[in-house]
A and B are shown apart, each in its own frame.
Chain A
Amino acid sequence: MRPLLPDLLIRYEPSIERSMMTAPFAGHEISRRSLLQFGAAAGFLLGTGALTGCAGPTGLPGADTLTLALNRSLVSLDNKLNQFDAAVTVQRAVRQALTAIGPEIKPVPVLADRFEMTGDTQWTVRLREGIRYSDGSPVTIEDVSTALKMYRQVQGSFVAGFFPEFPTVVPVDGRTFTLESEKPIPILDALMSMILITPAAQNKPEELQTGVGTGPYVVKKFNRGAGTYSLQRNPNYWGEPAAIENVEVRFLPEESSRVIALRSGEVDVIDTITPDSREQLAGLPGVVLKEASSLRLNQIFYNFRKPAGHPLSDVRVRQALSHAVNGEALVKDVMVDSVTQAEGVTPSSLFGYTRTGSYVYNPAKAKQMLKEAGVTDLKLKIIWETGEFPSDTSVMEALVEMFGDIGVAAELQQFEPGGNILAWRQGKAGDWDLLGNGFPSPTGLAITMLQGMYAGTAEKEKTRDTYQGYVVPSVTAKITAASSEVDPVRREKLLAEAQQAVWDTWPCAWAFVPKSVLAHTDRVQGLTLSANNSYPLADVRLES
């Protein structure tokens, strides 16, 4: 005989009919009992599920609460490791640095009231009088030196990459100290805007997710899992106290969810929105859009690791392909005027930017140039990671068509976040021709971006650490000269030369500068979006 139980234990899958081995049987008492038992058992099972671990709603914000919806989960309040735009606003509301990048993309003092270059390798800094953390303790020079040490110690730190070297703190008196370095760091005032200050005893070489800072808000509670933070006004703030009592930070990864949440008034502010969302929200009653230029350059970059005989190693071919790109149509139709075409190798918003040329759509010329270069049957592979820039997939699909129009077959390979695009970019996993990529300059300086992308050396290329294999020694020499030049006038001249030299190598088929776009409900007042895509939370007011 077949055993009864094993059959019953095989899971019932309702979508496919399966005869169960339940022979019907008679008997009044048994039926009644089993019904009662059915109820009891069902109640027991569901009850355990319901009672042991269900969650209640997270609660609606009150009328005096500002709700922000970020598209990335806020996992750090001091940005030691990684920095993404959306987090900056909240981080600066809790922690502050000695300086900040101000509205004119120039460093302005915050916790310092004096930040001056007093020698080629020395800056003198004085802490503002009477600044205190939210718990009432004063800010000390030791906090600054500890912060520098902690940022340096973090493995794979994003911030550390921008420092040519970390300066040492030498106290002068109770409030004054000098920052000493081996070589000149003429941009140290901008760099120090990324080092957020925390009491030395509480600072650790890892991302801080809570704790006290000097900012206008304090963390009331947070739920890492759900990515929510509740901020409350800091009563001991050293400056003008914040206008809004409470700020709720939510995490909504899907762009469409954020748009709908804003429309329905569930959230007050959504930042870094895509061109499509902007188009959907434009003109809606009760919604205000804010725009600012950004510190980011998005590029369709060539692979510079091609062998000498390859068409892409020929600067004429690189230039020819760029004439195939209808930049105007991409800007107007695909990205709905939320970006501008680049006219140089850095965004025009950066300090030290030089206009070097522009991308011209001319398919006839493109074909002509390809012919002159003797290139036929060119096939391109374009790679990029989902979400690298707004409307990325549409831009890429449009590019395939545009290259097709000049007889160049293009193929796409899209990588999901977390995939192995890095191995591809480094040429370790497969060959490619064009890369869709964005590069930010959080310091607001053109030199930062030039160093990151174009200052490649043969030594760096050994570990594949150059930007897509871009190694042009003459360019590198110009950038290096500009970066250590102490005299501002000469530095500017060197910078301009370096940028023109880069442009002449046609490093990308097309480049554009995205605008930072933010949307908020009309009850939000006094929000000023700056070029680094953040805004001072303390100035924001709510209309009752």
Chain B
Amino acid sequence: MNFRIAYIIARDEWRYWLRSRLSVAALVAASILIVAALISTITQVQTERTTRENFQAEAINTFESQPARHPHRMIHYGHYVFRTPAPLSVIDLGVDAAAGTVMFLEGHRQNSAVFTPNYSSANAGQLAELSPAFAYQVLTPLLLIILGFASISRERESATETLLYSISVAPLELWMGKIIALSGAALMSLLPLSLGLGLAISAGEHAGVAAYMLSGYALYLLTWVFIITAVSSSCQASSTALTLLLAGWIFFCIVISPVASGIASTGGAYEGKVVSDIAVQQALRGSGDGHNEADPAFDQFKMQLLQQYNVESIESLPINIRGMISKNAEEKQTQILNRFSDRRMEAARTQSRIVYWFGLLSPALALKNFSMNVAGTSLSEYQRFQHQAENVRFDFVQRLNNLHAEQLSYSDDINRSKDHQSEQRTRISPVHWKMLQPVAHHEDNEQERVSESLPHFIMLFFWCVFGAIWSVTRATRGAANAA
């Protein structure tokens, strides 16, 4: 193969686009859309980030500036964590719109993350999403189709194909020329994406992860380039090629996603939190009420404590039994709560695994899955947030229980409703309230994100290889048809 010839053909293809009003219009419209999507998503993410970070700071601040009080009151006062957008969400918002933004953390309970952005958003239908990810997954393939559907069939219709072969241009050179031309357009369309990625890097994202994301998108667009040239060289008429390509686009980019979601969700594996809460309630029955030291569920624990400190009565324990019981109860409860929430999360992941396999039916879905996972806007990242929130919750609750056990005397604690002096002594100083752990940043789990997105990347890679093989076979076979 002579690449110089391929390049000459590609250059002529570009010249053809520039002289065709349709192609110019499509190029201009697509560029405007991609840039608009990028700008609007960047602004949206910035606003959301500022809002949520301000709320987070306010939540921490209010907690830490609480007056002196009984530590158990602080357990019920609780704390809030806000889910902040990942740096790469300027490219792919992923599940953000459908995932809760704030979670209330308190003792003895696990609450759900509430107020999804979609909750109060204006409904504009399922396709109304203007993010760079959507622009690349759905709109750019359409641009490539418009530019490339006739790339080879046009030569056939005007008999220039045989003319080219007669002057010793090999079919593969013609094919390569068209591939270079279309890939050029794809590459150019990736410029705004690179800009967005650059921005994400400056916001703390790892450069390697950003490059990895870019390569996923490039692979996806290249797959389309192959598919388009394959179809164009299989068809005698450009109109047939266009019809087939549009049908493919509708199938890959519009139909498969909701079908996958429908099949994954009607499988019935995932029940949601309300069902699980009832099961939790049943499982918790009899595990003991941590507020009530007389609950027989704690008898054994009390015996253990007495033995451990080698004392006769709970009054003579060096620590406050109420705090210890509260701590012990929280631990047992949390184990049960985690068992159910783990089960729930696993069921959700099962659904997402079903969606993963649907990526075999659509490169667009494979890219969507890849993109969300690498951006840190996927279900996995959301669940990591939920886990982290739970860790923050358990951590501050147990710290407060420790304070309860170590800082408060048992006699004050039991007399506090009767005796004002005791009550005052059970209020511990606010210096202790500086105990909240922060929620880890998205940038810190790049290894998880890369490994979670790898299967999707491999699937994309297979799509690309499949497209390339199909395209080459059609191109060489198409040459035989030309004569």
Partners in one complex: no
